[in-house]
Structure formats: structure tokens, C-alpha cells
Structure 1
Amino acid sequence: MARYWKITQGSGDCQEVRGKGVVGQQPLIGPGQSFRYTSRAILQTPVGVMEGAYTLLDTSTQRVFEVAITPFRLAVPLQLH
């Protein structure tokens, strides 16, 4: 499993993050199961946008596939009206 994140600051500056697993783990997620984790992104501006993808392996077929993460807003608390 791998992750890719594109973090865009409110100024338009972008940072890309790639790596294996999430928060140091390579979870095995069975049918009907889920995996939840918490992480963080450092913003240089009060608002930003984050998007990306996870690359996963279906262990029953050995098929590798990618799941897109649609863009979502990041905001420092109390910075939006």
C-alpha cells in the first residue's frame, strides 16, 4: 500500500508527499472492514486544499489498484467566516 498527497497552500504553493503505507502501517482490510487513521499537514497559510490517492492491493487477486481522494479544504480553526 502506498499514499500520494498533494497539499496546496492558500498562496498556491504545492507540496507532494509520497510513501509506503499510512502512519507507519500497512493495514490488511478484509471485506466489510474499514481502517481509520489520523495524520496532519502543516499549512503556511490559514487555508489550503489537499487531494491525493491510495495505491492498494487486492490480496485475493493480487491486483493493484488506485483510489483517488477528491480535493478537500484545510482550514485553521476560526479562520473562515
Structure 2
Amino acid sequence: MIAQITSGVKVSVETLYQPEYSNPENEHFMFAYKIKIENLTDYSVQLMRRHWDIFDSNGSRREVDGEGVVGQQPVIEPGESHMYVSGCNLKSDMGSMKGNYQMTRLLDNENFVVKIPEFHLIAPYRLN
């Protein structure tokens, strides 16, 4: 598991290769990632937007921006956490992702950015 704390918000990431949804012969490799966002501050925060930088070992790079995560803009109370699972497809069996969340501190509507640590997407057979 990879984790990073920014401005009192901890983001932890676990990844899993999805062979049942992958088709290597057609350059389609599917990965799932589970993210836990923990509010270590003394105030409520809301996740408003996300930004991803996705790197594929074939040399391609893409960016994804959008509102919230998996259709939600969760409010995370002090000491609480929010978890979600999503996925990413690559054209090769290795790559990485990193990004950030735009958060709002609800006390004063102050916006701040929380980093999502870089994590690797690697098919298990590549680790041998």
C-alpha cells in the first residue's frame, strides 16, 4: 500500500491486476485501485474534483479530470474516511498513476489540493 498526507488528509492506495477483464492479445490490461481518504484534520472537508496523470509503459500518457470520485463528492468529517474502488485500463502490462483531489474546507469554503501518491499498475507475472 502507498500512502501520503497533504494538508492533514491521508490518501492510501492499493492496486490489483484484473486478468478476467484483460485481453493481452488485444493490448488491453485492466487494473483496479482502492483508495482510502482519511481526514486527519479538525474540520470537515469535501472532495470536489479529481485530476489523474496516467502513464503507460508503451510511452503514452493521458490526463483525466472530473467532478468528485465515482459519481460522488463526499463530505469527510474529522477522524472519518471515505473509500472507493475504481479502475484503469492500459495498453501494456505496466504503468503508473498519480494525481490530486481538489478539496474544500467546509468551515470557511477554503479550497486546497491533496496529492494522490504515484502508484504502479503492474501485472503480477512481470514481477518474476
Offset at residue 69 of structure 1 (A):
1.3
Whole-angstrom CA distance in 2 between matches of 1:64 and 1:80:
40
Does residue 51 of the first structure (1) align with residue 98 of the second (2)? yes
Is 1:62 aligned to 2:97, yes or no? no
The residue type paired with residue 27 of structure 1 is P
Deviation of the 1:75 alpha carbon = 1.2
What TM-score do the two structures reach when normalised by structure 2? 0.61
How far is the alpha carbon of 1:70 from its aligned partner?
2.0
Identity %: 41
Larger helix percent = 2
Distance 1:21 1:77 in 2: 30
One-letter amino acid of the structure 1 residue matched with residue 72 of structure 2: Q
**Structure-to-structure mapping, 1:16-27, within 5 angstroms:** 16-27=63-74
- Deviations 1:36-68, CA, capped at 9 Å, x for gaps: 000000011000010000000000121000011
Q: Does 1:28 align with 2:75?
A: yes
Instruction: Give the gaps of 5 or more residues in structure 1.
Output: none
- Structure 2 distance, partners of 1:47, 1:13, is 12
Matched position secondary structure for 1:12: coil
- In 1, Cα distance between the equivalents of 2:89 and 2:97? 11
Gaps (5+ residues) in structure 2? 1-47
Q: Deviation per CA, 1:5-43: give whole Å up to 9, x if none.
A: 011001121010000000000101000000000000001
Q: Aligned equivalents of 2:72 and 2:124: distance in 1?
A: 29
CA RMSD, Structure 1 to Structure 2 (Å): 0.9
Alignment-mate amino acid for residue 43 of structure 1: L
Greater strand content? 2
